[in-house]
Amino acid sequence: MSQDDESRTFPPQQQEPPGLTSEMQPVPDHGEDSYRGSGRLEGRKALITGGDSGIGRAVAIAYAREGADVAFTYLPEEKADADEMSALLEQAGRQHVAIEADLRDRGTCDRVVADTVQQLGGLDVLVNNAGFQMAREEGIEEITDERMDRVFTTNLYALFWLTRAAVAHLKPGSAIINNSSIQAYDPSSTLLDYAATKAAINNATVNLAAQLGPKGIRVNAVAPGPIWTPLQPATQPVEKVEQFGKDTPLGRAGQPAEVAPSFVFLASERDASYVSGTVLGVTGGKAVF
Ligand code: NAD
Ligand code: MG
């Protein structure tokens, strides 16, 4: 191995968004061979947006192995990942539903919630995981409305639309978990719009916890640091991907399997019944305050 190879974290690679799991080198670890459930989500019914790949896939595997029935959404370009995910859920022996949906549309978000409730027979846990970013060197002068629309609608509008549609179905003891980011605390200038959505998600998480607490619904977020998922080679320049995660105190990127247990904890009425309005960092050591 040359000096150059040793200084790399990941081999050079690039994909078009949204990106596919099978094209990643190495393929991420979603806990397929390691996650052991202990009935912590027995009988729960969960909807996970963007559950075909990355963190969402690891959360879906963990939830199913903890005893939950799982519905997940995916984009049309992600059919291959969605099929793999459905096969993994089938193995877990729980009821599962794969819903093709571009969430940048209110009616689609309403339909996703309605289909989940109809096909699983209810909804107890909403995981607002789907998200989009596109790293750009250009400054604010160059940012286009099209780019802002894609980022703000995917990351924020969809979260509001899905949450609004879900609340009518969520009984006391239910949980909402939003996927935030280290970018909410330590923003990269190349991710100006994305980082702003994640700060807004933290704010909305605390505020929704206050609004929905009287209904017995807990609302929390997880703020991951650099995690090895298709989003990265699909939206970051090749040099960034090679060094991805090296700047953390632990000195490496995390795997989706290392994030999923936090989503299990926050969903569990047994473990987290008094945890609401918090953001749990899974950052490899970077500060989340
Ligand atoms: P990923 O690419 O595996 O998952 C993102 C998913 O979002 C995609 O699978 C896709 O299905 C969904 N999505 C994107 N645009 C959509 C749209 N318009 N409609 C419906 N679904 C759409 O990558 P990931 O890293 O696992 O991302 C999951 C979440 O984690 C995102 O919210 C992301 O911001 C967050 N996150 C990731 C990292 C990281 O380093 N990977 C760090 C912090 C936060
Ligand atoms: Mg995907």
**Residue 267, φ and ψ in degrees, nearest 5:** -80, -20
Please provide the size of the chain in residues.
289
Give all strands (DSSP E) within 184-249, no chain letters.
218-224
Q: Which atom of ligand 1 is nearest to the CA of 227?
A: 40
Q: How far is the CA of 272 from the centre of ligand 1 (A)?
A: 25
Ligand 1 binding pocket includes 181 (Cβ within 6 Å): yes
Q: How far is the CA of 141 from the centre of ligand 2 (A)?
A: 30
Q: Is the pLDDT of residue 163 over 80?
A: yes
Please list the residues that pair with 128 across neighbouring strands. 178
pLDDT tens digits, 244-277:
999 999 999 999 999 999 999 999 999 999 999 9
Q: Report the predicted TM-score, pTM, of the whole model to 2 decimal places.
A: 0.98
Q: How confident is the model at residue 8 (pLDDT cuts 50, 70, 90)?
A: confident
Ligand 1 pocket residue status of 132, Cβ below 6 Å: yes
Residue 7 has pLDDT above 90, yes or no: no
Asked if residue 5 has pLDDT above 60, the reply is no
Q: What domains does the chain contain, in order, with CATH numbers?
A: 3-282 (3.40.50.720)
Signed CA dihedral, 178, 183, 184, 185: sign only: positive
By the 8 A CB rule, do 175 and 125 touch? yes
Phi, psi of 190 (to 5 degrees): -75, -10
Alpha-carbon distance values, 268 to 55, 263, 276 (Å): 18, 9, 12
Average pLDDT taken over every residue of the chain: 97
Pocket test for ligand 1, best of 132, 262, 283, 286 (most atoms within 8 A of CB): 132
Q: Which residues contact 185 (CB under 8 A, 6 or more apart)?
A: 223, 286, 287, 288, 289
Is residue 46 predicted with pLDDT exceeding 60? yes
Q: Is the CB of 31 under 6 A from ligand 1?
A: no
- Interstrand relation of 96-100 and 125-128 (parallel, antiparallel or unpaired): unpaired
Task: Compute the half-sphere exposure of residue 201: CA atoms within 13 Å on the CB side of its CA.
Answer: 37
The number of angstroms, rounded, from the C-alpha of 39 to the middle of its chain's C-alpha atoms is 22
Integer angstrom CA distances of residue 58 from 3, 40, 74: 33, 16, 14
- The dihedrals phi and psi of 128, each to the nearest 5 degrees, come to -85, 90
Find where tokens 């929905």 sit. 212
129 lines ligand 1 (CB under 6 A): yes
Q: Is the pLDDT of residue 97 over 80?
A: yes
Residue 135 bridge partners (DSSP): none
Mean pLDDT throughout 227-239?
Answer: 98
Gyration radius of the chain over CA positions = 18
- Backbone phi, psi, residue 119, to 5°: -80, -30
- pLDDT value at 169 more than 50: yes
Question: What percent of the chain stands above pLDDT 70?
Answer: 98
State pLDDT tens for residues 124-134: 999 999 999 99
At residue 6, the pLDDT reads 61
